[in-house]
């Protein structure tokens, strides 16, 4: 009698609603590893009878006629949206925007799950009980005109603004241009709603009455510039924006910034301050506010998809070495723990780090911050080779799989 093999399915989404007894009889054991498993009551009974192993973060019980749809990124539900025949369960990995007037469209969905954030008008919050949101829920005033998440007002805004309009920005509004005319906006009975307002000191008195009482008002010195991203302090940044800066992200200050620090008189960060250790004391004595401070080396590997740290790179890193916001960092096998301790200052915001020796792992673990994974080279590969040699296992690896 022929020995039955084991079936092992690994995927992000697995639909088992059409699995059959005939298929289960084909294998000695069935194991399903999936982030989401779609099933129903009848199939659950069958799986239990055959001892199927299920490893899942989320289990969805959907009837056979319900179609499953997933979307990664940003999507929206809006009035008049074309819907396919039959009911749909929608999974959104990202952001979902439900627009005003979409009540009838929502009735076509058997369910909605959002792994991320959901935004909708305040009047539609009653529909949220049927929606699972693993993340933030944001509402905006009904009837408002929605601007960009971070909306910068300029000298032409009062010309475009509509009479009696309410303008909304999901994250913040910025009014730092000296010629934003709030007096004329007030004459048009324009109002604003936003969690946070950054306003120049000279404009504050005219601006504040046009914003609702829940808005966090941050008054900044006249001439302050808004930088809507992570930034590096250098001559180019100061020439473009000036010496009064509001950074909506992290700011890196390396050894090359020493010559421009005297040109910076005001500095505010929404994010963290990454400063080379040679300039730490000088920077922290300035008029600066930040989320957290991280000391970095004089040489910084920043925003690489993948980068290798070799003995040569470390030995030639003047002031030490740091890796910031890289997808993957690997360390050569001939890099000694002593050289790492001497030269590696920090690893910040990198997705993964692979080390060649256990001693390297120990050093890196002490210097890493906001790093998802630190691995020892060879472990995963050895396990993979062992699995490949197992002829009694049928493996299916896929993003999605339907029986």
Backbone φ, ψ for residue 156 (5° rounding): -95, -5
Alpha carbon distance 58, 46 (integer Å): 19
In this predicted structure, what is the pLDDT of residue 382?
Answer: 46
In this predicted structure, what is the pLDDT of residue 1?
Answer: 43
- Taken as a whole, the chain contains a residue count of 403
Sign, CA torsion 231/237/238/241: negative
Alpha carbon distance 4, 259 (integer Å): 72
| Mean pLDDT for the stretch of residues 67-76 | 90
Q: Which of 139-148, 263-272, 277-286 has the lowest mean pLDDT?
A: 277-286
In this predicted structure, what is the pLDDT of residue 161?
Answer: 96
In this predicted structure, what is the pLDDT of residue 300?
Answer: 85
Note the pLDDT tens digit of each residue in 165-200. Answer: 999 999 999 999 999 999 999 999 999 999 999 999
| Mean pLDDT for the stretch of residues 3-21 | 89
């Amino acid at each position: 009698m022929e020995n039955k093999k084991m079936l092992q399915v690994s995927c992000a989404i697995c639909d088992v609603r059409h699995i059959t007894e005939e298929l289960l009889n084909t294998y000695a054991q069935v194991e399903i590893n999936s982030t989401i498993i779609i099933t129903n009551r009848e199939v659950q009974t069958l799986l239990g009878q055959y001892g199927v192993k299920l490893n899942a973060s989320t289990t969805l019980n959907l009837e056979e006629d319900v179609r499953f749809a997933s979307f990664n990124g940003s999507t929206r539900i809006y009035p008049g949206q074309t819907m396919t025949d039959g009911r749909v369960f929608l999974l959104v990995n990202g952001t979902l925007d439900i627009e005003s007037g979409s009540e009838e469209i929502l009735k076509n969905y058997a369910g909605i799950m959002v792994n991320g954030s959901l935004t909708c008008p305040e009047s539609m919050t009653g529909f949220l009980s049927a929606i699972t949101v693993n993340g933030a829920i944001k509402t905006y005033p009904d009837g408002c005109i929605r601007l960009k998440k971070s909306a910068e007002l300029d000298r032409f805004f009062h010309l475009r603004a509509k009479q009696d309009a309410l303008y909304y920005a999901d994250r913040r509004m910025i009014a730092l241009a000296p010629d934003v005319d709030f007096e004329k906006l007030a004459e048009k009975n324009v109002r604003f709603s936003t969690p946070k307002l950054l306003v120049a000191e000279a404009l504050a008195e005219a601006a504040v009455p046009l914003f609702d009482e829940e808005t966090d008002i941050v008054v900044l010195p006249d001439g302050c510039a808004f930088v809507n991203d992570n930034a590096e302090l250098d001559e180019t940044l100061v020439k473009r924006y000036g010496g009064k800066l509001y950074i909506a992200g992290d700011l890196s200050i390396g050894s090359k910034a020493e010559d421009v620090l005297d040109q910076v008189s005001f500095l505010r960060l929404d994010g963290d301050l990454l400063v080379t250790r040679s300039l730490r004391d000088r920077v922290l004595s300035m008029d600066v506010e930040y989320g957290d401070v991280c000391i970095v080396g004089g040489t910084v590997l920043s925003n690489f998809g993948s980068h290798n740290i070799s003995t040569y790179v470390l030995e030639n890193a003047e002031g030490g070495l740091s890796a910031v916001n890289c997808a993957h960092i690997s360390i050569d096998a001939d890099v000694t723990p002593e050289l790492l301790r001497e030269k590696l200052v920090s690893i910040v915001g990198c997705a993964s780090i692979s080390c060649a020796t256990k001693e390297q792992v120990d050093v890196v673990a002490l210097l890493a911050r906001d790093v998802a994974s630190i691995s020892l080279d060879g472990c995963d590969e050895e396990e993979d080779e062992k699995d490949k040699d197992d002829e009694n296992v049928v493996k299916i690896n896929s993003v999605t799989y339907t029986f």
